[in-house]
Every structure is written in structure tokens, then in C-alpha cells.
Structure 1
């Protein structure tokens, strides 16, 4: 066999093999590589998106925590103000109750003093009549007796 013919035959077989590879083998390989590259790109994009979402979620969480702390501080302040207001209202109400009790006690004491004074006047009048009766040694009729008691009461006031 001739070296040139062998070389030409090998060259023809090489080109046929190259054409066959380019036509039937290379496109599925490129398609698989492109799909793999697309999956990798999607994975990287998803990882970047997840990283961005995580940073955003952390920001939101920090903001929500700050808001919750502010609301708690506001609620605590409001509760303290309400407590102070309730305490002050209770103090005012207690002072009013004490004042009413003092006035009622004073009124009761005045009424009691009046009652005692009235009883004392009646007793003085009775004793004066008894004394006058003993001095005069005579019985005074009931009508005159009542009039004298009334007059003595008036004079004692």
C-alpha cells in the first residue's frame, strides 16, 4: 500500500469522523453542558436571592424588634401614668371620704351636744321646780308646771 493513499484514506476517515462528531455527538454534549451551566447559574441566582432575602428579613426583624421595644416602652409609660392617675384619684376620693366622715362626726357631735343640753335644761327645770315646790310646799297644777318648764327652757337657751 502506498503511503499517500493511506494518508488520504486516514484524512477522509478523520474528516468523516469529525463531521459525524460535529453533527451527532457534539450538539447533545453542548446541550448538556448548556443545561448544566444554566442550572449552575440558576443556583447561583437563587443563592444570591436567598442571601438578599435573608438580609432583608434580618433588617425587618431588627425593625420589628425596635418597634416592639418602642411600643413596650410607650405601654409601660402609659401604664405608669394611669397608675399615678388612679393613685391620685384614690387619694382625692379618700380625702373626700375623710372630710365627709369628719363632717358627719362633727354634726353627730353637735347633735349629741344639743341633745345633752336639752336633757340638761329639762333636768335643771325639773330640779328648779322640785326645789321651788319644796320651798313653797305646795303642789302646782300640771298646766302651770308645763308652762314653767317651757319658760325655763327658753331662758336657759
Structure 2
């Protein structure tokens, strides 16, 4: 064969091969590229969505942390106020108890003072009667003596 015929046959084979690739291979290749492009776009969109969700979750976590800190500070403040109130109540109770004890001690002291006065009056009366008996040289009627002492005590 001559060179021209070989070239013509090679040209025809090339065009048949190009047509075959263009008709059957190229659409498959384009389809694969489009699918790959769609997959990449979906992956990028998914990544952006994940970033947004991460930012939102981070924001929510920060907000929850701020709220928890505010709530804990509120609880601490309430506990401090309650402790102060409890301390104040305890002070008031202690003061009231101290006043009650003072009043009880004053009452006991007054009773003791009254008993001591009565005992002293009785002793003074007995001494006065004994002294009067010696001076007068006679016995004094105890019943009369008691009446006289009661009258004298009422006058004092």
C-alpha cells in the first residue's frame, strides 16, 4: 500500500475512534465529572452547614455557661443573704435569751432579797422580843408579838 492510502485509512480510523469516544466515552466521562462536581459541592455545603451548626452550638454553650454562672452567682448571693439572716436571727435569739436570763436572775435576786429581809425582820423581831423580855423581866405572848411584828412590818 502506498503512503497515501495508509494515511487515509489511519485518518478514517482516527475519526471512527474519535466519533466512538465522543458518542460513548465522552458522555460517561462528562457524567462522572458532573457527579464528582455535585459530590464536591454537596461536601462543601455540608462542611459550611457543619461550621454554622458548630458556631451555633458554641454560641449556645457560651450562653448556657453564662446562664449557669449567673444562676450560681444568684444562688451564692441567696446563700449569703440567708446566712446573714440566720446570723441575725441567732443574734436576736441570743439577745432575747440573755434578756430572759437577766430578768430571771433579777427576779431570783429580788426573791432572795425579799427572803433575806423577811429573815432579817424575823431575827430582829426575835432579838427585840428577847431584849424586851430581859428588860421587862417577863415573857411576851408570842401571838401578841406576831401581831405587833406584822403591824410593824406593814409600817416599814
Q: Shorter-chain TM-score: which interval?
A: 0.7 to 0.9
Q: Give the match for residue 46 of structure 1.
A: 46
CA contact (8 A) 1:133 1:140 kept: yes
Alpha-carbon separation, structure 2, partners of 1:52 and 1:39 = 20
SS in 2 for 1:138: coil
Structure-to-structure mapping, 1:4-153, within 5 angstroms: 5-153=5-153
For residues 84-121 of structure 1, what are the alpha-carbon distances to aligned partners after superposition, in whole Å with 9 as ceiling and x for unaligned? 22222222222211111111111111111111011111
CA contact (8 A) 1:125 1:152 kept: no
SS in 1 for 2:45: helix
Unpaired segments of 5 or more residues in structure 2?
A: none
User: What value does the CA root-mean-square deviation take over the aligned residues?
Assistant: 2.3
CA contact (8 A) 1:133 1:139 kept: yes
CA contact (8 A) 2:125 2:149 kept: yes
Alpha-carbon separation, structure 1, partners of 2:121 and 2:141 = 21
CA contact (8 A) 1:125 1:149 kept: yes
TM-score (norm 1): 0.82
1:122 Cα deviation (Å)?
A: 0.9
Alpha-carbon separation, structure 1, partners of 2:152 and 2:126 = 9
User: How many matched pairs?
Assistant: 156
TM-score (norm 2): 0.82
